[in-house]
Homo-oligomer: A and B are copies of this chain.
Amino acid sequence: MSASSPSPRRVAIVGATGAVGREMVDVLHRRSFPVAELGLFASERSAGRTVETPFGEKTLVAFDVEKVKGYDIVLLAVSGDFAKEHAPAIAAGGALVIDNSSAFRYDDNVPLIVPEINAHAMGAIEQGKGKLIANPNCTTAIAVVALGPLHKAFGLKRVIVSTYQATSGAGAEGMAELEEQTRNQLDGKPVVNSVFRHPIPFNLIPQIDAFQENGYTKEEMKVTWETRKILEIPDLPVSCTAVRIPTYRAHSEAITVETLSPVTPDAARAVLADAPGVVVKDVPADGVYPMPLNATGQFDVEVGRIRTSLIFGDHGLDLFVCGDQLLKGAALNAVQIAELSL
């Protein structure tokens, strides 16, 4: 943000009724984003319904690409197919478009931004001249706020990630299925699954998104591809196992890194303590470490369990991170990208 007060912007959210869309409204308010006007766009089905927001009562508007074009900033919380169809036209109309889908993330011409890490990759933003920016995958966004500073300080050579992902990654319906079906299981009623491929209560599912030819899921490959792009290390070996677990909205990740320079847990802690978007939660003897229970609703990503790798010795670390999937994993990061344009 510039030192002087930035001029308020007209902001549209497309997909405003979804879990991410609703968080976007909330985050704009929590971060005092200068909103001149807020347009909430949704499907025909929801159009006309009024919703209470921190910006007052708003009426949901049926999405129409022409109506959306008039806004300064357009936050897309929609499917990849929807984004692919409409995002370029909206950007061509002059808006800064921040797309939460994966549609454009691997396009060399589209910046993929985590503001704490690669704000420089945004390029020039001129008001009235549209631009399309991709918001990263939730697991990746949460990981890189810790990995970026470690890379800067010690150089990353290899990264191995195992995830513990919340049901919010499947939207509000995912969280609702967890709650309803857990209640059914406790009450001895039949447990059914429609959002998830298998029942999620008291279970885990080692599949998120579709399987690729190499045996990894698309979710797992997103972590590889997007970490490389955001950290600007095109050939960084990154491997991920992505697992859905019965939690609501904070993703956790067990991460092993090999570094180019020697590293100690204390040096890593010092680097991460100074890193934006990170809060070090690492007093294990006192039971202080990252957990969904505490990370939920928080902007910062919790990092802890920092220790010397038993595999890579003084050139490696094990760590554990936890961040709110709907915030740093989606809505917060999108709003932070919008802030870069102020």
Chain A contacts to B: CB under 8 angstroms: 158, 160, 162, 164, 178-179, 182-183, 186, 197-199, 202-207, 211, 214-217, 224, 237-239, 241, 243, 245-248, 252, 254, 256, 265, 284-285, 287, 289-293, 304-311, 318, 320
Contact = CB atoms under 8 A, between A and B. Distances in A.
Contact of A254 (B158, B243, B290): B243
B247 A310 contact: no
A308 B213 CA distance: 11
A248 to B, nearest CB: 6
Contacts of A252: 204, 206, 243
A284 B288 CA distance: 37
A320 B245 CA distance: 14
A241 B311 contact: no
A234 B240 CA distance: 28
A307 B199 CA distance: 24
Majority SS at the chain A contact face: mixed
Contacts of A198: 287, 291, 293
Contact of A291 (B179, B203, B265): B203
Contact of A239 (B204, B284, B318): B318
A164 B243 CA distance: 10
Contacts of A238: 310-311
